[in-house]
Amino acid sequence: MNIEVVVVNNTDEVQTIYFATKVTLPNGNIYPLLGYLFGPYMVTLEPYESKSGYLSHTIPGNAPLGPYTYHGYVGKPDEGVINEDYFSFKVIPTQAVVVPEGWETRMCPNFND
Residue 21 lies in a domain: yes
Provide the pLDDT for residue 77: 87
Given this model, what pLDDT does residue 82 score?
92
pLDDT at 92: 85
pTM as predicted? 0.80
pLDDT for the residue numbered 18: 95
Task: Note whether residue 88 is domain-resident.
Answer: yes
Look at residue 50 and tell me if it is in a domain: yes
Position 6 in a domain: yes
Contact 12, 47 (CB under 8 A): yes
- Here the CATH number for the domain that contains residue 72 is 2.60.40.3880
Residue range 71-94, pLDDT digits in tens: 999 999 889 999 999 999 998 886
Q: Which residues of the chain have pLDDT under 50?
A: 97, 113
112 within domain boundaries: no
**Per-residue CA distances from 5 to 30, 57, 103, 112 (Å):** 20, 13, 18, 10
Range of the domain at 29: 2-107
pLDDT at 96: 52
Asked whether residue 74 is domain-assigned, the answer is yes
Position 113 in a domain:
no
Instruction: Output the CA angle 6-3-95, nearest 5 degrees.
Output: 180
User: Residue 109: its pLDDT value, please?
Assistant: 52
Cα angle 16-106-72, degrees, rounded to a multiple of 5: 45
87 occurs within a structural domain:
yes
Number of domains in the chain: 1
Return the half-sphere exposure (C-beta side, CA atoms, 13 A cut-off) of residue 2: 3
Give the pLDDT confidence score for residue 106 in this predicted structure: 58
